[in-house]
Amino acid sequence: MLTSLYLSFCKYDLHTLTFVGGKNYEVLLTRDPLFYKSLTNTMLYVLFSVPLGLTGSLLIAVLLNQKVKGLPIFRTMFYLPSLVPAVASSLVWLWVFHPDAGILNYGLSKLGIKGPAWLMDPKTALSSLVLMSLWGIGGGRMLIFLAGLQGISDELYEAAQLDGAKGWASFRHITLPMLSPTIFFNLILGIIGSFQVFTSAYIMTGGGPDNATLMYVLYLYNNAFRYFKLGKASAMAWILFAILLALTLVQFKNASKWVYYEGGEKE
């Protein structure tokens, strides 16, 4: 980390190393439109993928927390997609999103709907990556939610039933407040992970079309290992670190407004 911090103040192309002060940061912040394009794409990806992913993982965890026969089998089935390597998943979704031979547009055609070009259209490419991100909602986040749900005492639900609270009322006033520390944990990790999205964009689109899926870490990678501007790439890494640190601190500061622990205490 210290080395990358020093390199962020240098012009380094694997052959020559020249100290240039804050020029890399100046170029990124004032003269590099692709920097802001990649940052905007990434923020939009985070804005949609994180809430959808958290909601999906929570709903699956609630379903898998029910007392039904064959529960271990259902839990295994929902968790299996997260075990598929990211590269393999990207290749599978390339076929799914293919505008002519893809299964998604084939299914839409059976409903009388002409499917979009997905990854080949700048208008739908980014939303396609968001849709693909839901492939992993049954993975680690689901398990964490499931552990949190199993940690909620049955006595709370029994007391709520005596007061006439059932279904949505019980979920809203008992499950969500008691699960808020787990939601908070998954929210932080989800934002950090989504800001670092790389594999899907690298394998499926390479940042295209028309830079519609040029993610921040992909642009960082291009600067470092395609253009060999390692000083500029190091500066991008430290800017990303600052952004994630700021967002995490804001989340911790606002956690006291909605994160509850047993006994009604707030974070």
Q: Please give the pLDDT value at position 77.
A: 92
pTM for this predicted structure: 0.93
How many CA atoms within 13 Å lie on the side-chain side of 22? 5
Average pLDDT, the chain: 93
- Contact in structure between 185 and 241 (CB atoms under 8 Å): no
- Contact in structure between 140 and 147 (CB atoms under 8 Å): no
Q: Please give the pLDDT value at position 263.
A: 57
Q: 264 falls in which pLDDT band (50, 70, 90)?
A: low
Q: What percentage of residues in the chain have a pLDDT greater than 70?
A: 98
Structure token pair of residue 258: 């909605």
Q: Please give the pLDDT value at position 249.
A: 97
Cα–Cα distance for residue pair 68/82, rounded to 1 Å: 23
pLDDT (average), residues 34-52: 98
- Other residues' Cβ atoms within 10 Å of the Cβ of residue 148: 21
pLDDT (average), residues 209-215: 96
pLDDT tens, position by position, 62-90:
999 988 888 899 999 999 988 999 999 99
Q: Please give the pLDDT value at position 68.
A: 87
